[in-house]
Each structure stands twice: as C-alpha cells, then as structure tokens.
Amino acid sequence: MKQFENSKRAFAEASEYMPGGVNSPVRAFKNVGGDPLFIERGKGAHIEDIDHNVFIDYVLSWGPLILGHADDQVVADLQAATAKGTSYGAPTELETELAKKIQSIVPSMEMMRMVSSGTEATMSAIRLARGYTHREKIVKFIGNYHGHSDSLLVDAGSGVATFNINTSPGVPKDLAYDTLTVPYNDVEGVKAVFEANGDDIACAIVEPIAGNMGVIPGTQEFLQTLRDVTTAHGSVLIFDEVMSGFRAAYHGAQSLYGITPDLTTLGKVVGGGLPVGVFGGRRDIMMNITPAGNVYHAGTLSGNPLAMTGGLSTLAQLNESLYAEMSAKTTRLVEGIKQAADAHNVPVTVHHVGTMWSYFFNAGPVNNFDDVQASDVAYFAKFYKQLLQQGIYTAPSQFETNFMSSKHTDDDIQATINGFNAAFDAVENE
C-alpha cells in the first residue's frame, strides 16, 4: 500500500494558513475523501509526491503541460530568460512573437491581449463585448466554467459543480440577473433566449468542447445555431478555448467545427505551465481596448517575459503530426478503460476529443450537465482512491477533464489500463 503520511502532515499545516489547505478548491480532494497529494517534482508523464510515491499524471497541471513536466527545452529556455530579468513592465518583442505564433495557429485571433490567467481572459472578453455592444446581458451554458469572475459564476462547472454551488455567495444579484443560463447542447433553448432578450444580449460565451463537467463536445447544430443567432442579433460570440485551445486539436475546437467566433479566450497550454491567458479576435472589436479605445484592460505582469517564453517554447514544439500521435494514444487509453469497466460490469461512458478525455460512471448518454449529475459520484470516490494506489493520477472529480501529453509512452498507457483493471478489482473486493 502506498503511504501518504508526509502529504497528510503538509495538508494539515497548509490548512492553518489557507482556507481548505489549498489555493484552488478542487485540489483539496474533498469529495473523493482523503488528503491531497503534495507534489515534490515532475518529469515527463510522471510526478512524485513528498512521500516519494510516483504516479502517471493525467492532470498535467489541469491541462497546460502538453509536453509533460519539465520538458528539457522549455526548462532551458526559461532558465535563459530568467537570467536576463524576470519582468520589466515595458514591452518586449517576446509578446509580439507569441501573438504572431498564436495568430498563425488560430487565425480568427486577428488581434489579442495577453493576461495572466484564463479568468482574466474571459472576464476581459466579457467587458469588451459589453463595451462594444453597449448592452449588459450575457448568455452562458449550464456546467460550462469560465473562471471565477462575478458574471460567470452562475450555474458553472468545475469546482462550482464539484461543490454543488449554483451561484457563489458574494456575486451581486444584479450581475447574476444579467447572466442568462441555458442547458448545454440545447438548440431550442438558445433560440428561445435570443428571441426573448436578443437586443439586450452583449455576448454568448461557450466552451465549444466543454471540459468542466468532464468532456462533452458541443454538437455541430448547437454551435452553428449559436453562431447564427448571435450574428442575427448583433451579439458577440465568444469561444472560451482556455481548455480546448491546443488540446482538442492543434488549431482549437473552432477548427473542428469550422465555426469562427468573434472573440476567443485561451489559457493553459498557451503558457506552457506559466501563468498566461489570452483574449483576442476581430480587429474592429479588439480596437476598443485601452489605449486604442476606451474599454479598460491592464496588468502589471501581463505579457511577462517568463510567461511569454513558457508559451513560445511550448508552442514551438507543437505540430499537426504530434496531435495525431497524441490523439491516437488518447483513443487507445479510453478504449482500454471502457473495456476494463465492461469486464467488471461497471457502467461507464468515456469521452475524448484530441488530448482531452474523461470517464463518467454513468451508462450514458452524457450530453449536458443534468446527464453528468446522474453519474455515480460515490463509486467515483471509492474508485479514485484505488486508482491512486495503482499509481495513476487523474482529476479528483467527476466534473473535470483529464489530459494526454507528448511524453506518455505506450508503456504508460498499458500500465494505466492495467491500473484501471486492478482498481475495478479492488473496489469489487472491498
């Protein structure tokens, strides 16, 4: 049996200083029971905790580490950048270099702004949409998560769903009132909300491939309807690709659907493990940002040289064939997991797009937040503990996505499938 004594002690101490012992809620392992692992180091597809247990990691810092942990080139580039100075609060050419690289991969982002998190990216995109349209209402989808800014913490996914919160205390009711929520993949719901409120709606924000209630791809009809009604009503369409960008496909979810949003938000992979978010899109809309226009946006560390280097170094190593390889590995993994569950008569639905994947203890189909909520979270909690014993580290919640990296080997994947089989056996024998 793996022992977690050091993590347990570290968590107790951390809990004296930080609410819940963590700086982001799902890290606390609260609804899988037990204490979170405190991590000592990572290399490639593996992490080691402070008890010296080693795990195959599919959390990958919740998505950013597409090249795995401590990639040699990324580390070397960051070391070189650090030696030159960590931040200037003045422009560097690195910012333009990253913007050009992003634009070459996601051409709909004609202009963009760098920020330090996905939350800032979506918050700023919403403000921009409101400032541009002179309207206040926004549309979001139940179970989508766009970070923790006030307007977006209504019927959200991720930790908000994990902890069963509908609208966070502290969000002013007038702001919540301006956030109209619709079930995900609900074509009629989209038409109805625009019919009733269309001329007051500044924007619709959507995860084109949802990743914050597990992986749930938007349907083509749903996203196309959204594109059509936003255009018809002069509302801005924002694709939140903080997770799906450089993950669902090299060119993002928008390339898979052939639908062009007005604005896109990015995060996670775009910083390669350093704090980066990006919002960007149509030039005529982006030109409303200060100082070109008068919708305010700023940041002491926005475009920070280390963060830009993390992104540049990571994106430089990505290409179509790497995505084909990583997607094939993901397919092999989820098929193995499905077979393992079937062999143990455990109802499971597996979803995957590109390098994003998840397993729901649910016979399916799983197309929206209500479906996800019908999953067996009690089984998930038991299973999760056994999976850790097998040395497999996946997201500690049924409402989150797992990821694949370029560093996971065939042996890692086979070991993971074996680990799932052993964990199903162990739960059966409890």
Q: How far apart are CA 423 and CA 430, in angstroms?
A: 11
Q: How far apart are CA 63 and CA 422, in angstroms?
A: 26
Biggest CA-to-CA distance, the chain: 65
Does residue number 212 form part of the binding site for ligand PMP (CB under 6 A)? yes
Q: Looking at 29-37, 105-113, 173-181, 236-244, which segment touches ligand PMP (CB under 6 A)?
A: 236-244
Q: How far apart are CA 396 and CA 84, in angstroms?
A: 38
Q: Compute the least distance from the CB of residue 138 to ligand PMP, in Å.
A: 14
Spell out, one character per residue from 313 to 352, where the chain touches ligand PMP: x when CB under 6 A holds, - when not. ----------------------------------------
Report the DSSP beta bridge partners of residue 380: none
Q: Compute the least distance from the CB of residue 335 to ligand PMP, in Å.
A: 25
Q: Which of 137, 268, 329, 407 is catalytic?
A: 268
Does residue number 44 form part of the binding site for ligand PMP (CB under 6 A)? no
Q: Compute the least distance from the CB of residue 121 to ligand PMP, in Å.
A: 7
What is the end-to-end Cα distance of the chain in Å, rounded? 14
Pick between residue 198 and residue 277 the one whose CB is nearest to ligand PMP: 277
Does residue number 145 form part of the binding site for ligand PMP (CB under 6 A)? yes
Does residue number 211 form part of the binding site for ligand PMP (CB under 6 A)? yes
Q: Which of 58, 132, 145, 393 is catalytic?
A: 145
Q: Compute the least distance from the CB of residue 297 to ligand PMP, in Å.
A: 16
Pick between residue 145 and residue 380 the one whose CB is nearest to ligand PMP: 145
Residue 375: which of 141, 217, 215, 209 has the closest Cα? 215
Does residue number 267 form part of the binding site for ligand PMP (CB under 6 A)? yes
Residues 271 to 310: which contact ligand PMP by CB under 6 A?
A: 277
Pick between residue 139 and residue 423 the one whose CB is nearest to ligand PMP: 139
Sign of CA dihedral 386, 392, 395, 400: negative
Q: Contact with ligand PMP (CB under 6 A): which of 37, 229, 238, 242?
A: 242
Does residue number 141 form part of the binding site for ligand PMP (CB under 6 A)? no
Pick between residue 399 and residue 424 the one whose CB is nearest to ligand PMP: 399
Three-state helix/strand/coil letters over 256-307: HHCCCCCEEEECHHHHECECCEEEEECHHHHCCECCCCCECCCCCCCCCHHH
Q: Compute the least distance from the CB of residue 346 to ligand PMP, in Å.
A: 27
Catalytic, 145? Answer yes
Q: Compute the least distance from the CB of residue 159 to ligand PMP, in Å.
A: 9
Q: Which of 71, 77, 155, 240 is catalytic?
A: 240
CA distances for 376 relative to 81, 89, 165, 361, angstroms: 47, 49, 18, 5
For residue 14, what is the DSSP state?
A: H
Residue nearest to ligand PMP (CB): 118
Q: How far apart are CA 305 and CA 311, in angstroms?
A: 10
Does residue number 240 form part of the binding site for ligand PMP (CB under 6 A)? yes
Spell out, one character per residue from 57 to 76, where the chain touches ligand PMP: x when CB under 6 A holds, - when not. -----x--------------
Q: How far apart are CA 361 and CA 347, in angstroms?
A: 6
Count other Cβ atoms within 10 Å, centred on residue 421: 18
* Three-state secondary structure call for residue 172: coil
H helices, E strands: number in the chain: 15, 16
Size of the site for ligand PMP (CB under 6 A): 17
Q: How far apart are CA 53 and CA 56, in angstroms?
A: 10
Q: Looking at 142-150, 167-175, 311-319, 362-370, which segment touches ligand PMP (CB under 6 A)?
A: 142-150
Catalytic, 257? Answer no
Token pair belonging to 270: 């775009």
Q: Looking at 48-56, 205-213, 224-232, 357-365, which segment touches ligand PMP (CB under 6 A)?
A: 205-213
Phi, psi of 209, rounded to the nearest 5 degrees:
-120, 110
Answer whether 355's CB lies under 8 Å from 326's CB: yes
In 79-131, DSSP assigns E strands to: 111-115
Does residue number 147 form part of the binding site for ligand PMP (CB under 6 A)? yes
Catalytic, 262? Answer no
CA distances for 323 relative to 66, 145, 259, 354, 414, angstroms: 10, 25, 20, 7, 20
Q: Compute the least distance from the CB of residue 299 to ligand PMP, in Å.
A: 13
Does residue number 119 form part of the binding site for ligand PMP (CB under 6 A)? yes
Does residue number 53 form part of the binding site for ligand PMP (CB under 6 A)? no
**Residues at the site binding ligand PMP, with contacts judged by CB under 6 A:** 62, 117-119, 122, 145-147, 158, 207, 211-212, 240, 242-243, 267, 277
What amino acid positions are annotated as catalytic residues?
A: 145, 240, 268
